[in-house]
Structure 1
Amino acid sequence: MTTKVGSPVATGFIDGQNLFKQAKRLFGHREPNFDPVALHREVSRMAGFAPGPVRVYTGIPAANRQPRWHLFWNNKIQAMKRAGVTVTTRPLRYRKRQLFDEDGEVETITQAEEKGIDIRIALDLVRMARREELDAAIIYSQDQDLNEVVFEIEAISQLQGREIPLASAFPWSSQTHFDRGIARTQWLRIDQETYGSCVDPADYF
């Protein structure tokens, strides 16, 4: 789709860890190699929006547990900030879980979890909408928990007497089993070719 003059200017809200995990599972990318500015520019074009500011939200691995990935994300965050991206971070939390191994025996593993990212995205969306700083938004997530914020943005837009278009964007392939964006938003499917055209070649390790 071609962006028209006067098209809504879309702010991008990118869940960095979620985007990385989906691109890894579907496309085989083994590191978070997306260029957020390039990706948002391309996805905005797909939606018929003009690309606006980009905001990235991500958990950060602990230096004492995952030093290599801690270094990677610190370096990538600095590069994103230099490119004008607003970055919000949260420390990853580590929790022990018990699973059955192939022999049927209980195995204890430590799993990293991301907390508070969806809440931060939702709060920023509502805050910007209330201040009339949000012309349109693309949320790079399929998390249905964000459905609640869609109703809130719709209520704000009615009070302000204006439309605030919302879209959700996510990596997609014909093999995916979950092909739904956030309810009541425009769904934007990022295929492997589109994602590959927006890869950042820098080595942040």
Structure 2
Amino acid sequence: MKAIVFFDGQNLYRSAKDAWRGPTTSSPSRYTWPSYDVKKLSAALVSKTPGRILCQIRFYTGVPETNQDSFWHDFWIEKFNHLRKQGVEVYKGRINSSGQEKGVDVKICC
């Protein structure tokens, strides 16, 4: 059975950050950088069910414009380039002026 793995980059980052938080919710997280490896995560997920074959990885995330946050804009563009070189399909949403991700959930579902 063929499998496609979908990632929402911002939600994955926030979930990892929460998972690595200290003993209380007010403790700072020890995970401060979106350094996850979507290829390894995909392989681990697919291997949970015998007979599944990973045929595609799709990564979706919002990216701030350069004038909003040049550091994170450049970071995500470089990460996208790296993911594409690994054969990952990349879908870029945007971050609005209030910092909310826009256009990602719609791209995932369609």
So what's the TM-score if we normalise by structure 1?
0.47
Residue number in structure 1 paired with 2:46: 44
Give, in whole Å, the separation in 1 of the partners of 2:54 and 2:45: 8
Give the structure 1 partner of residue 105 of structure 2: 118
Q: Secondary structure at the match of 1:47?
A: coil
1:142-169: CA deviation from partner (whole Å, max 9, x where unpaired): xxxxxxxxxxxxxxxxxxxxxxxxxxxx
Matched, 1:92 2:74: no
Q: Alpha-carbon deviation of 1:62? A: 1.9
Residue in structure 1 matched with residue 34 of structure 2 by the alignment: 32
**Max Rg structure:** 1
Deviation, structure 1 residue 69? 0.9
| Partners of 1:30 and 1:56 in 2: CA distance | 19
Structure 2 counterpart of 1:23, one-letter code: A
Tell me the equivalent position of 1:64.
67
Root mean square deviation, CA, Å = 1.2
With a CA cutoff of 8 Å and minimum separation of 6, indicate the structure with the bigger relative contact order: 2
Within the candidate set 78, 81, 86, 1:78 is matched to 81
Q: Which amino acid aligns with 1:34?
A: Y
Identity of aligned residues (%): 31
4+ aligned runs moved over 4 Å, structure 1: none
Deviation at 1:33, TM superposition (A): 0.7
Deviations for 1:77-100, whole angstroms, at most 9, x for unmatched residues?
A: 0000000011000121022xxxxx
Is 2:4–2:57's contact at 8 Å kept on the other side of the alignment?
yes
Partners of 2:71 and 2:56 in 1: how far apart? Answer: 29
CA contact (8 A) 2:6 2:59 kept: yes
Provide the C-alpha distance between the structure 2 equivalents of 1:80 and 1:58, rounded to a whole number of angstroms: 12
Alignment of 1:126-165 (within 5 A): none
Q: 2:11 aligns with which of 15, 18, 40?
A: 18
CA contact (8 A) 2:94 2:103 kept: no
What is the letter of the counterpart of residue 33 of structure 1?
A: S
**Alignment: residue pair count:** 100
| Structure 2: unaligned runs, 5 residues or longer | 21-29
Gaps of 5+ in 1: 1-7, 96-111, 124-205
